[in-house]
Structure 1
C-alpha cells in the first residue's frame, strides 16, 4: 500500500490545487511502478499552521510567501494546462466574444483538418480558424456537435477524444457519426496548434459527408 504524503502551509493551496497535487502524485507513482499500484495508492496533503514551520531558524508565514513571490501568481495558476482550461477553450468559440476567445487561442495559431475534402487542410491564424468554424456551422445548418469522451494532458499537449455528429444543411439523411481526437499544443495558456485525427473508417465517412 504506497502512501504519498505532502506537507504545505495552510491557506497556501486551494481545494482544487490540493486535488491536482493528489492526482499528479498518484499519476507519477503509477508511471514508475505501473498501473497495478494505482488502486492501492494513498495520497495525502497535510497542512501546518502559518508560522509553525521553520527553515534555517526562521519561520515561514503564508502571507510572506505570497508577498515574496514564492507562491505562483494567480495569472500563472489560471494559465496552467488543465482539463477545465481545455473545455473552456472550446466553450468560448461559440461566444462570439473575440477578446475572450483570444485568451485561449493564439492569433497566429494553426489548425489541421484531416481528410481530403472542402474543409480539409491547414487553417492559418485565428481569423481563418474561426471562418472554418463558421463554415462548418453553415454547411450543417448548426447541427454539428462534438460530445466529450475524455481529455488527456501531458506537458504542453492536450488530447480531447470526441464523438462528432451532424447532418448536412438541406439533407438530414446525409449524416456524420464518427469518433475523433484533437491534439492541441499550448503555450502560456493558449492553443498555438491543433491537429485532428479520425478513428477507423471514419475518414472515408468524413470525406463523403463534406463532399
Structure 2
C-alpha cells in the first residue's frame, strides 16, 4: 500500500453505532473528491483500505457485501461552511480535462 499523505477533506462515517446482526451487514462508504485530484491508483487504495477497515470492524463476513464509492465532483460543485470550494481556493492546480 502507498504511504501517501491523507487527503484533509475526506472522511468516513460508520453507521450504525453498534455492529448489526451478522446476516444484515452491508457497509457502505461514499468518498467525494474534487474532479482530477485523485488518480486511479489512489482510488483503488481508498477502496482497499476502506474495505479492510470494514472487515476489521464488522468481521470477514462483511467483505463480500462492502461497497465503497469514490466520486469526483466538478470544480465549484461542492461547499463547506457556506462557502463554495474550488481547486483554486484550496491551492490546487486545475484538473486536467
Aligned to 2:47: 22
Alpha-carbon distance, 1:48 to partner: 1.1
What is the CA–CA distance in structure 2 between the aligned matches of 1:3 and 1:57, rounded to whole Å? 27
Alpha-carbon distance, 1:22 to partner: 0.7
Aligned to 1:36: 61
Alpha-carbon distance, 1:65 to partner: 2.1
Aligned to 2:31: 6
What is the CA–CA distance in structure 2 between the aligned matches of 1:53 and 1:32, rounded to whole Å? 30
What is the CA–CA distance in structure 2 between the aligned matches of 1:20 and 1:66, rounded to whole Å? 24
Alpha-carbon distance, 1:45 to partner: 0.5
Alignment check: 8 A CA contact 1:9 1:62 kept:
yes
Alignment check: 8 A CA contact 1:50 1:62 kept:
yes
| Structure-2-length-normalised TM-score | 0.62
- 1:43-90, Cα deviation, whole Å (9 max, x unpaired): 1111111101111222111243244xxxxxxxxxxxxxxxxxxxxxxx
Instruction: Report how many aligned residue pairs link the two structures.
Output: 68
Q: Point out the structure with max Rg over C-alpha.
A: 1
Alpha-carbon distance, 1:21 to partner: 0.6
Partner SS state of residue 59, structure 1: strand
Alignment check: 8 A CA contact 1:25 1:43 kept:
yes
Structure 1 segments (4+ residues) deviating >6 Å:
none
- Aligned-residue CA RMSD in angstroms? 1.8
What is the CA–CA distance in structure 2 between the aligned matches of 1:12 and 1:46, rounded to whole Å? 11
Alpha-carbon distance, 1:2 to partner: 2.1
What is the CA–CA distance in structure 1 between the aligned matches of 2:30 and 2:58, rounded to whole Å? 17
What is the CA–CA distance in structure 2 between the aligned matches of 1:33 and 1:22, rounded to whole Å? 16
Partner SS state of residue 62, structure 1: coil
Partner SS state of residue 29, structure 2: strand
Runs of 5+ consecutive residues of structure 2 not aligned to the other structure: 1-25, 93-97
Structure with more of its chain in strand, by fraction: 1
